[in-house]
Structure 1
């Protein structure tokens, strides 16, 4: 950044942001909203990038964009390459199933890890996300995508030569920011993962930083007395409280932290005495290394989970290790590359950066191939596939037959791709519908088709049961059901399954269960009039481990849960499902809990005979589903009598 517009308090703000993020990730119970430090980074990024551009001139947009892009590459790529390369090397040694992490790391090198996480359906707030060593790079993806858009907006709405008139630029930025904020608030409820990961819905935070910089650059005296009304220590204390105390809805904390960050940027213009908390030497140094520190803190915390008996399992050791790595990265990677003079961007600069990325990816891929050829890990060997390929087409079940209305949309051919006619003309079709707990029956349903010739239809709608009782309904499920109604015939059977328990500790029956039972009762009446059967599949065991990689396949007590802890809840669900089936001659209830966790067992285990039958804490894999196929067939035979 131009020396004349350097702001030491901004380095201090970076320190606050990175320490909040680290505290939130390492000590979540004390800093439940420490992740909002990323929002501080977004505002700072918009602010600093704008100040770095306002005093620059270029003859053409091409030259301007090339120079801007090269500066960003020099700033971000070297440290990221080193961090991702070394982290992947460690993962190949300690991570028994590194696929998700390696995929996210590769996407991060192209500024697209937020897309990778979104399309992998990896929720930032789910426990298992902590096992992905590059989850935190989603925010870098947001910034890098912003860096592709912002130079275009800056050049055509502002231009470096228009130093006295900033109104049009502010109008464009603030208009886009308002639209982005509205989308962010709306999607918090309907698509929270999109609201969290996607740049257009995060643009408002970077946009506020941009607008702040534009205002202060053109009117530096406009808010010179702001400190009288907004003392910096009070603002910093308020920011700390937001990190610690959850306030209001999901979006309230984001808005509060952006407002407080913006206020501190204004206060710091001519109130250096008030900003000593941010401008002292230790704070500025932590701010200087904050990028490398952000890069390294999450991998070390993930190492502690993947190697629970190592020193890294202690979060304090992990954080200290991250600080050491960040210091080395800053002085021996970041700074040397920043000092390299590139007054005129050349094609080979960009080609070299691209080649470096490909080289790291190739080395990691080679290491992973060698690891697999050497036998991989015992956990990988113990894992069965999550789904089978679809008959005939060979397409993957996910995403072909998974519809969530977000990254996996209902397509014109979804119904046809996920519906398979009976192998014999006189056989029935099993119409399976429901959330992901219907989807995890796929292995059992395709086994029945192979053994008995049944037709099968299955499209899962994650988070949406059938009948849909969740607020707002779900239009894709309604469209799919209309197709089912046009194709079913007397003698067919509808298979319903759903998530019955909360995923919280302590476990509880989901609040929607009672209303769902009522809807299913009415649905059973309709099916009875049509001569169609109904199978009600009960809950499987639910475990409390965060990730299957935390389990030992050869130890059935590993990750197990006391059966008595689940029996009371399971009995409630079984009672209501049995009563409903008892009131309808065309309905049958299937108890899969007792099959997967026999009454003679004191504990329920996610593995049997050294192999996992679950893919996560409550979803069966192909082998687990196959184990209950005969239970389904027995129920079908009862309905046929």
Structure 2
């Protein structure tokens, strides 16, 4: 296939959008759709290469794979090594260990699976992931591995003429899965090859059905494609379900531009656009770590966003000429042993091994003083978090809830993911009294007792958990903890220090009613009920706050501010007023978390050299130990103590 300037221009249109979106979402709210444009281009080009090989009976899978590796791996290797070198000097062990895991998954092309198991693409935590953008490279690489095998099999079993139907069928199936998964498992849908494949497959469909039309009609088709992509960039935003039915807009737009094959359009003939298209891969690789670096060093605002965008294109140009253009290696007519020692294989091995070593040694904490090493080691979550916490994908029925450290089960811990460390710390504490606990937690499940119609599985789980607790006679004490204000008003990420309001009053009233009924029913069953008031939420993850202290040589790690006490009161006013005004049974005791984590001015992330959290809202084991002491040392002074307004 001859070099197509229209496709090269389309690359520029895609990468410009992605870069602008990442540096400032307000400037191009749907710029993330540029990745979908890239997917269509990849599908079209890979199909043309594979079909050409099949037609000439000259398709070598090994050569195909190494050609792709030649294009992708050298630049990716340099980026990964650069990140590891940077991390050695600037990242605390926790973050360096995380970066190493991400280097492993990026160099091994399974980073989409890694990020699928972590937080979402559009959340605040994503801004600290140096290689988050490599998820799309992993999706494409997985497509490169599987796609030629499918087409080769279809050709051998049927004929070359069966391939278009095969591609169309797979595209339809993938699109259906995409639409369904985006509703029910959105995190998995975003990163999965299964739900993204249709975009690349439609690029393949375009290859098989070119159209022969006059130049003026090509212009119309081209304009239609550009319009669809422009609508995607300008109208869509991160709150839209993605990928899903709306993804048709940029995908169809890219397909129309490729179909039009207009060699005389603006993107085909403009010198600057063509250069950006040529540099697009290197621009894409370096722009995101640059964005994370600016965020890491707290260079924020319009000025730095503009600088970041400009630097992204400059770095892309530099690394195109230094790396991408120069590091091209022969891969044809090699022996089997030579393939194993091909530079692209060695690059992958070196990056993977270096990252594995850093991860094995827990982020090389020896770089820091013994005092700091101790603090870093205490940023710990429960070792039973994955095994014993119920999630949508790993559902644990309440009857099968974990019991900890003994058969004499006298305690139950109930709530969302913010109870997990409390359960573990409590179990450790009461173990010496030969007592055990039963741990009931469901991720993201708000208090939804007796509200089946509105909360479905969450309410069913809550009903079953309360029933199991009340019917278990050995359980004498119940500890309840939720991230109430997130359920009542939404997350703080987009609004801090302002207050968000993403929920309606009806759902708030319903949740409060459910919480009240749940507490009352547990109290009626003659259990001692301990309810924690909201645990303060931080404005940043604790590792990030520690990193800031370290980066700016602020060596006073003893106490680190998390947020203001005033913000805590404003954020949680709704739920605090409920507990302040509600008449509860005598065997219900309210524990004021803020008295344990805050003073009259500040809520701490680290107190007396001990990190109270392991992220930005979940207590660490040490933080949980501080909380449960207020229960185990229970006296009248700790009953129903509320913050003063």
Q: TM-score range by the shorter chain?
A: 0.7 to 0.9
Q: TM-score, length-normalised on structure 1?
A: 0.85
Partner of 1:530: 525
1:135/1:34 Cα in 2 relative to 1: closer, same or farther (>3 Å)?
same
1:460/1:546 Cα in 2 relative to 1: closer, same or farther (>3 Å)?
same
Partner of 2:113: 115
Range that drifts further, 607-616 or 89-98 = 607-616
- Which runs of no fewer than 5 residues in structure 2 stay unpaired? 550-554, 640-645
1:471/1:560 Cα in 2 relative to 1: closer, same or farther (>3 Å)?
same
- Which runs of no fewer than 5 residues in structure 1 stay unpaired? 390-395
Range that drifts further, 505-514 or 125-134 = 505-514
Partner of 2:384: 397
CA drift at 1:528:
4.2
Partner of 2:277: 287
**Contact kept in structure 2, 1:405 and 1:476, CA below 8 Å:** no
CA drift at 1:13:
0.6
| 1:617 matched to 2:607 | no
5 Å matches for 1:134-533?
134-158=131-155, 165=161, 168-216=162-210, 220-221=211-212, 226-227=217-218, 229-232=220-223, 235-246=225-236, 249-250=240-241, 251=244, 253-268=246-261, 271-273=262-264, 275-308=265-298, 314-338=304-328, 340=330, 342-343=332-333, 346-352=336-342, 353-364=344-355, 369=361, 371-375=364-368, 381-383=374-376, 385=378, 387=380, 396-406=383-393, 409-410=394-395, 415=400, 418-420=402-404, 422=406, 425=408, 429-450=410-431, 452-467=433-448, 471-474=455-458, 477=461, 481=465, 484-485=468-469, 488-489=472-473, 491-501=475-485, 502-504=490-492, 505=495, 506-508=498-500, 512-533=507-528
1:576/1:48 Cα in 2 relative to 1: closer, same or farther (>3 Å)?
same
CA drift at 1:210:
1.3
Partner of 1:392: none
SS in 2 for 1:289: helix
5 Å matches for 1:488-637?
488-489=472-473, 491-501=475-485, 502-504=490-492, 505=495, 506-508=498-500, 512-545=507-540, 548-550=543-545, 551-552=548-549, 554=556, 560-580=562-582, 582-598=583-599, 601-634=600-633
CA drift at 1:58:
8.2
- Cα distance in structure 1, aligned partners of 2:580 and 2:434: 28
SS in 2 for 1:301: helix
Measured against aligned partners, the alpha-carbon deviations of 1:222-251 in whole angstroms (never above 9, x if no partner) come to 79764354343x542542342233379423
**Contact kept in structure 1, 2:75 and 2:282, CA below 8 Å:** yes
- Cα distance in structure 2, aligned partners of 1:314 and 1:238: 30
CA drift at 1:508:
4.8
**Contact kept in structure 1, 2:154 and 2:166, CA below 8 Å:** yes
**Contact kept in structure 1, 2:412 and 2:469, CA below 8 Å:** no
- Cα distance in structure 2, aligned partners of 1:547 and 1:254: 36
**Contact kept in structure 1, 2:406 and 2:431, CA below 8 Å:** no
- Cα distance in structure 2, aligned partners of 1:191 and 1:50: 30
5 Å matches for 1:21-100?
21-57=18-54, 64-96=60-92, 97-100=95-98
1:610/1:312 Cα in 2 relative to 1: closer, same or farther (>3 Å)?
farther
**Contact kept in structure 2, 1:21 and 1:36, CA below 8 Å:** yes
Range that drifts further, 48-57 or 436-445 = 436-445
Aligned CA-pair RMSD: 3.6
Measured against aligned partners, the alpha-carbon deviations of 1:291-330 in whole angstroms (never above 9, x if no partner) come to 1211111111122233347999934444444334333332
- Cα distance in structure 2, aligned partners of 1:498 and 1:266: 53
1:224/1:419 Cα in 2 relative to 1: closer, same or farther (>3 Å)?
farther
SS in 2 for 1:314: helix
Range that drifts further, 471-480 or 109-118 = 471-480
SS in 2 for 1:79: helix
SS in 2 for 1:534: strand
Range that drifts further, 364-373 or 193-202 = 364-373
CA drift at 1:107:
0.7
CA drift at 1:539:
0.3
User: Aligned pairs, how many?
Assistant: 609
- Cα distance in structure 2, aligned partners of 1:196 and 1:379: 37
Partner of 1:8: 5
**Contact kept in structure 2, 1:535 and 1:590, CA below 8 Å:** yes
SS in 1 for 2:140: helix
- Cα distance in structure 2, aligned partners of 1:253 and 1:405: 25
- Cα distance in structure 2, aligned partners of 1:432 and 1:585: 19
SS in 1 for 2:326: helix
